[in-house]
A and B are shown apart, each in its own frame.
Chain A
Amino acid sequence: MGDVAVAEAALRYAEVSVGYHGAPVLTDVNLDLVPGQRLALIGPNGAGKSTLIKSILGLVPVLAGTSTVLGGAPAQARTRTGYVPQTDSLDAAFPVTAGQVVMMGRYRRIGWWRPTRTADRRAVHEALDRLGLADHGGTHFGVLSGGQRQRVLLARAIAAEPRLLLLDEPFNGVDAVSQDAILSVLRDLSAAGTTLVLSTHDLTVAHELADTVCVLNRRQWAVGPPDETLTADTLRRAYGGHAIELRDGRTVLVEP
């Protein structure tokens, strides 16, 4: 413990409640993440996963408890956090190219109206390249497949060079090729010290990628390493007592 650990913590939530207009959506959240840690938020639809992510971005207020993101208040950390929204929250018909979307990740650096520089264009190209989309910079975002769009959004987050990356259901509607590309990039980022927080209801992905999982449903039910935490018992309690099967020693979740 001590000063060093405090300075290094990427995310620290203690007894946190988050919600809108004073009504908590999610309570009793206790998280402690160091740089490079990979946290998966597990829970059914409406469990509060997206709300928790938005609270880390400072977009949903913390109603109780103490919250520290990258050493400060969540809203203060926005310059160093990256966010990958769910693709279906976007206006796909909006006329922008993949390259322009990735450039949005640089907007905060560039400022409101200064022209883009070589460094920005290089960062955009590199981010696209890392996700195997180097040839798609000029492609209209709306004509890309769901998986390609998700990769573009991850590229956008990477272009901002975040220390904490938040991903909301990054594998929803994503094909196998895109999923592999995303997983590989996320592992690299983690190895380089970027802390990852992603929401998912895919337990396989959680096992494969995360070193820590947090089981949520209106409150935090469990947190810890995947093998110890994703037990049939915990999941059964969090998910409401049924739709859980055990197979090959692993927990498989079947939602109704």
Chain B
Amino acid sequence: MECFVKHGQRTIIAAAAAAALVLLGGCGAGEDAAEGSGNTSSGTRLAVVATTPEVADFVRTIGGSDVTVTQIIKPNVDPHDYEPTPADIQAIGKAAIVVKSGVGLEGWLDQTIESAGFKGTVVDSSQGVTLREGGHEEGEEGHEEGEGAHEGEEHDPHIWHNPLNAKTMVANIEKSLAAADPAHAAAFAGNLKTYAAELDKLDADNEAAFARIPADQRKLVTNHDAFGYYVDRYKLEFVGSVIPSLDTSAELSAKQLNELVAKIKATGTKAIFAETSLPPKSAEAIANQAGVKVIGGADALYGDSIGAEGTPQGTYLGAERHNTQVIVTALGG
């Protein structure tokens, strides 16, 4: 009898721990989730569900007070493996429009939409954006990625890190909002015009900031491959990433790890940039070995997320300005 109980207990404790972990993951930023359910019911305004914090920010900016936005993924939550809650599915079921970031980022969305019985329009904000291939274009020769890694059909979904792509995204969003609520089309168009100008300014500011850094010092090592479009746009050299995949669930092999360390040393890269939605642990280990610093904590980059609402980084523009400022400071300093 004793060994029955003892054995069972071990597994039960493990199961409880696993459940608690999943639970904690989900609870990460629960405190500001109420916004969604509270507002969707308010009558005449257009009910829009947006998946990621970036896209939700775009919709809020373009829609202004004429739409209510339910944002599914909270700030600093990894969008790659998200588990929707009943409230999320409920909100999608009641929404008129669902806006997604697209390019396969929200793999969970199709099934969720099906479950919710959503019959409205799904807006893929990535429409018209020129996509990067997956894998690592800049970091290729140093990585033993070889067989089968480049399928050709895999595209990098982190499109918003190029402000010009963001312009396309907001234009798509404006078009769909106007189609769904023609009465407010003029207001949406006005908001788009203002915001497009701000995006152009962000782009110009970024250009100017990197122009101050010598070309051979513009080297980037990040936590996962989130910054491909950013690297392309501002002509940076991508040395490698701690998680050598567009997804966050991949793992670095020992060989890849050693090569990354060697490459960091060889190229004279100054820092590894951590990301807000990912634990910085492996980044720290690699930085230790390579003798460089990890830019993390308050200075972590917004790769898959933006900051908490109400903070300066709580908008797309704020988060992107933060990223550029952190990178430029670290590389220039």
Chain A residues lying within 8 Å of B4, measured Cβ to Cβ, are 93
- CB of B1 closer than 8 Å to a CB of A: yes
Distance of A142 Cα from B1 Cα, bound (Å): 10
What is the chain A residue whose CB lies nearest that of B1? A93
Chain B residues lying within 8 Å of A93, measured Cβ to Cβ, are 1, 3-4
Q: Interface digits, B1-41 against A, CB 8 Å rule (1 contact, 0 not)? A: 10110000000000000000000000000000000000000
A97 to chain B, nearest CB (A): 16
A136 to chain B, nearest CB (A): 20
Distance of A142 Cα from B4 Cα, bound (Å): 14
B177 to chain A, nearest CB (A): 63
Of the four ranges (under 10, 10 to 19, 20 to 34, 35 or more), the interface on chain A belongs to: under 10
Chain A residues lying within 8 Å of B1, measured Cβ to Cβ, are 93, 142
What is the chain B residue whose CB lies nearest that of A94? B4
What is the chain A residue whose CB lies nearest that of B2? A93
What is the chain B residue whose CB lies nearest that of A142? B1
Distance of A45 Cα from B3 Cα, bound (Å): 29
Distance of A13 Cα from B1 Cα, bound (Å): 42
Distance of A93 Cα from B8 Cα, bound (Å): 14
Chain B residues lying within 8 Å of A142, measured Cβ to Cβ, are 1
Q: Interface digits, A81-123 against B, CB 8 Å rule (1 contact, 0 not)? A: 0000000000001000000000000000000000000000000
Distance of A210 Cα from B4 Cα, bound (Å): 41
A141 to chain B, nearest CB (A): 13
B113 to chain A, nearest CB (A): 45
Distance of A142 Cα from B3 Cα, bound (Å): 14
In the complex, which residues 141-158 of chain A have their Cβ closer than 8 Å to any Cβ of chain B?
A: 142
What is the chain A residue whose CB lies nearest that of B3? A93
A40 to chain B, nearest CB (A): 36
What is the chain A residue whose CB lies nearest that of B4? A93
Distance of A93 Cα from B1 Cα, bound (Å): 5
A93 to chain B, nearest CB (A): 5
B256 to chain A, nearest CB (A): 47
Chain A residues lying within 8 Å of B3, measured Cβ to Cβ, are 93
A183 to chain B, nearest CB (A): 32
In the complex, which residues 237-254 of chain B have their Cβ closer than 8 Å to any Cβ of chain A?
A: none
B80 to chain A, nearest CB (A): 46
B172 to chain A, nearest CB (A): 62
Distance of A43 Cα from B4 Cα, bound (Å): 36
B300 to chain A, nearest CB (A): 53
Distance of A26 Cα from B272 Cα, bound (Å): 72
A178 to chain B, nearest CB (A): 23
In the complex, which residues 125-184 of chain A have their Cβ closer than 8 Å to any Cβ of chain B?
A: 142
B266 to chain A, nearest CB (A): 59
Distance of A93 Cα from B3 Cα, bound (Å): 9
In the complex, which residues 113-148 of chain B have their Cβ closer than 8 Å to any Cβ of chain A?
A: none
In the complex, which residues 32-61 of chain A have their Cβ closer than 8 Å to any Cβ of chain B?
A: none
What is the chain A residue whose CB lies nearest that of B5? A93
Distance of A33 Cα from B43 Cα, bound (Å): 95
What is the chain B residue whose CB lies nearest that of A92? B1
A244 to chain B, nearest CB (A): 41
A11 to chain B, nearest CB (A): 39
A139 to chain B, nearest CB (A): 16
Distance of A93 Cα from B4 Cα, bound (Å): 8
Distance of A249 Cα from B4 Cα, bound (Å): 51
Distance of A211 Cα from B1 Cα, bound (Å): 42
In the complex, which residues 41-86 of chain B have their Cβ closer than 8 Å to any Cβ of chain A?
A: none
Q: Interface digits, A6-22 against B, CB 8 Å rule (1 contact, 0 not)? A: 00000000000000000
Closest 4 pairs between A and B when the two form their complex, measured CB to CB: A93-B1, A93-B4, A142-B1, A93-B3
Q: Can you name 4 A-B residue pairings with CB atoms under 8 Å?
A: A93-B1, A93-B3, A93-B4, A142-B1
